[in-house]
Structure 1
Amino acid sequence: MGTYLAYDYPLLGAFWTMLWLFLWILWFILLFRIIVDIFRDDDMGGWGKAGWLAFVILLPFLGVLVYVIARGKSMGGREIKHARAQQKAFDDYVRETASGGGGGRSHADELARLSELRTRGDITEEEFRRAKALVLGDDAPSGSASTTAADTGATPRG
């Protein structure tokens, strides 16, 4: 019986079966990506999501085709936005964990933020020096003529 099976199912038939199986699996992957994209889209309201979901589930082949035509271009943008948000969350987690996990910012983070503020022109050079001295824990910020005893924590002599 085994030898007759090889003759009844030629190589071209096996090729077509594998092709249809591949396309079927590809369609399922696309269907699930579309369902995830429907729920991920913050711009679409609840009724829009419900409508697209019903369309994609009740008329699967037509629904997937129409969704890809109508909203396929923005699917990539939402995917990139989601990937960037995940990467930022991961980077923030690594940064927080590496700095001791105390919930506070490290000196390097504070100095980088101060440098960015100075570069944008939000703070002056003098304000940058005072803030840098506070971050680094110096007792008296250098170069500040307007620093009072209350600013440095020293007691006035009298």
Structure 2
Amino acid sequence: MLLAAEFGSGQALWSIFWLFIFVMWIFLIIFIFSDIIRSHDLSGWGKALWAGGIIFFPYIGIFAYLIIRGGSMSERQLSDAKEADAAMQTYIRETTGGTTDADQLSKLSDLHTAGKLDDAEYASAKAKVIGS
């Protein structure tokens, strides 16, 4: 068993460096597998081929994936984040109940008194709110 006293300073730095590279490699593999799974433009066979390529030829598979599909990884991640945000906003609106009829009538009244709505538009919008 190697103790700290037996480790030279150069060996310790190299060990830390290789540990860092190994951890980054694991994160890269996990990130790419998650991108393959979340990708909507790949069919099931395409996902299976990419996953098999990464499993059986890790270095070539990872670098090929980054070269071929790496540019669109951020676009897929951004679209997934937007979808999650929209779903969260919808959930919040549904849970809190959104605006009440009284709130909508108050806003309509403010718009009518400010001159943004004429009498016919105000009456039509008011009927929609009351009817709903």
Structure 1 residues 51 and 126 mapped into 2: Cα distance closer, same or farther (>3 Å)? farther
Which amino acid counterpart does residue 129 of structure 1 have in structure 2? Answer: Y
**After superposition, where does 1:1-158 map in structure 2 within 5 Å?**
6=5, 8-99=6-97, 106-107=99-100, 128-137=121-130
Partner of 1:155: none
Q: TM-score, normalised by structure 1?
A: 0.64
What SS is found at the alignment partner of 1:19? helix
Structure 1 residues 56 and 126 mapped into 2: Cα distance closer, same or farther (>3 Å)? farther
Partner of 1:114: none
Q: TM-score, normalised by structure 2?
A: 0.75
Which amino acid counterpart does residue 67 of structure 2 have in structure 1? Answer: I
Gaps of 5+ in 1: 100-104, 112-124, 139-158
- How many residue pairs get aligned? The number is 119
Do the aligned residues in 2 keep the contact of 1:107 with 1:135 (CA within 8 Å)? no
Map Cα deviations across residues 64-112 of structure 1 (whole Å, 9 max, x no partner): 111111111100100011111111111111111111xxxxx6458xx6x
Structure 1 residues 25 and 137 mapped into 2: Cα distance closer, same or farther (>3 Å)? same
Structure 1 residues 107 and 36 mapped into 2: Cα distance closer, same or farther (>3 Å)? same
What SS is found at the alignment partner of 2:41? coil
Structure 1 residues 31 and 127 mapped into 2: Cα distance closer, same or farther (>3 Å)? farther
Which entry has the higher C-alpha Rg, 1 or 2?
1
Q: Distance in 2 between matches of 1:51 and 1:93?
A: 37
Shift of 1:136: 3.7
Percent identity of paired positions between Structure 1 and Structure 2: 30
Shift of 1:134: 2.3
Structure 1 residues 62 and 131 mapped into 2: Cα distance closer, same or farther (>3 Å)? farther
Identify which of structures 1 and 2 has the higher relative contact order when contacts are C-alpha pairs closer than 8 Å and 6+ apart: 2
Higher helix residue share:
2
Structure 1 residues 63 and 129 mapped into 2: Cα distance closer, same or farther (>3 Å)? same
Q: Distance in 1 between matches of 2:71 and 2:88?
A: 27
